[in-house]
Amino acid sequence: MAVTRFAPSPTGYLHIGGLRTALYSYLWARKTNGEFRLRIEDTDTQRNNDEAMKAILEAFNWVGLNYDGEVEYQSKRMEIYKKYIQQLLDEGKAYYCYMSKDELEALREEQMANKQTPRYDGRYRDFTGTPPSDIEPVVRIKAPLEGKITFVDGVKSIMNINCNEVDDFIIARSNGNPTYNFVVAIDDALMGITDVIRGDDHLTNTAKQIIIYEALGFDIPKFYHVPMINNPQGKKLSKRDGAMDVMEYKRQGYLPEALLNFLVRLGWSNKDQEIFSMEEMLELFDPSNINKSASSYNQEKLLWLNAHYIKNVSNDRLAKELEFFDCYLNGHDKKEMLLDLSKERAQTLVELKDAVNKIINRPTEYEVKGVKKFIKEDTPKFLDAYLKTLEEKKESLHLACDYEEITKPFIKEFELKFPQLFQPIRIALTGGTQAPSVYDIMAILGYNEVNLRVRTALDKNFNKEL
């Protein structure tokens, strides 16, 4: 039974790299009948953003990653951290360091001049003299001076860090506030986290956190460090490439299941399978099978997945989703026909909304290029005749096949080619030449609306401005 967590900082919005980490943590906890916890790391009061914090919770709600228990906020746990800092001081496992900023800078310059890695030299580790009166000390932990820190990473295998690479790092600043690595280790231990799944940019923090676990006698969790998501060129993902606020994906018309399906494949796979329901993810996912190398963001794959889910979710669900985009279809008598037709070519909900609106809203202008190409001198004559033919049979016009049954003989009688009739009608009904089957559009609109739109286009002579 795994207990996992996702612990974002509310200094910015939740991006897809973070959402992928959350998804992996969620899947592993749920698969093992464990717990998935959410913790907000908000100790950086100067950089915290209330709107970003709300957006993180909103994103979790949108994608349906439900967490166990209450959200933990580090800002409400300061007394807990101070208690453990004092414990380490009392046990001689941590100490006050009175090194001034000038001393630190001088040490850094000396080490760099000697081509050494800048690091604290431990000068106050065993200090027993009189503390300087003008220095507010920090608290440093006593890191091991020799040997190796070894742990097994579920993705990267055995990791060995020489102790001489880790100095006596700060666990509390001069104002008493604890540092990141300290609070993370304390929280993970007290929350009973058994498996830490996170980006491999945190790999360098792991040795420090293990030192804290061991100093306090806490159990060390299993670590899985997930490689980054790169852009198609193999570089760091930017906002232009897709590293944007998760809720922006909603605003751009993506379904949450498409985004989760896309993310689960960015770093993990099950042979050549591309489509994963949540049930399949829960059945098949294992963090031990996470790829060791970075993955590449692929916008075309995301669009392909989104189109798949748009085609396969229920029309009731689509109608509900479209309300977010101010497109309301509940109560429309041809809702099913309208959505069945429109979703076939839509890759996003925004495209679906546009396709729907193109049909249900009367055009306010006509495509100039289409008019020039398809509206000829004899077009009004045979359109008028076609409308009269429809009028004669209007009581029997309900489905697309009803319109087709009337139209084919009409085309043959007037010796027309299909585009000669259909493109002018398509322009009259939707304003443009790119639209689904004219038969389907007419069946959705009904005879009266078809007649009105075609007559209007003829009256205006298909001019752009109505």
What is the identity of the amino acid at 465?
E
What does DSSP say about strands 148-153 and 157-162: parallel, antiparallel, or unpaired? Answer: antiparallel
Please tell me whether 222 is known to bind a ligand.
no
d(CA 283, CA 260): 15
Q: Which residues pair with 72 in a beta bridge?
A: 39
For the record, the structure tokens of 423 come out as: 């493109």
Locus of tokens 């232009």:
240
Question: Is residue 7 within 8 Å of 190, Cβ to Cβ?
Answer: no
d(CA 143, CA 169): 8
- Helix/strand/coil percentages in the chain, nearest 5: 50, 10, 40
d(CA 198, CA 242): 19
DSSP 8-state class, residue 201: G
Question: Is residue 36 within 8 Å of 9, Cβ to Cβ?
Answer: no
DSSP 8-state class, residue 239: G
> What does the CA dihedral 146, 151, 157, 159 come to, rounded to 10 degrees?
-20
Integer-rounded Cα Rg, in Å, for the chain is 32
Question: Is residue 290 within 8 Å of 224, Cβ to Cβ?
Answer: yes
d(CA 462, CA 466): 9
Nearest to 171 by CA among 205, 197, 147: 205
d(CA 297, CA 229): 6
Question: Is residue 367 within 8 Å of 426, Cβ to Cβ?
Answer: no
Q: Residues at the annotated binding site?
A: 239
Q: Which residues are known binding-site members for ATP? A: 239
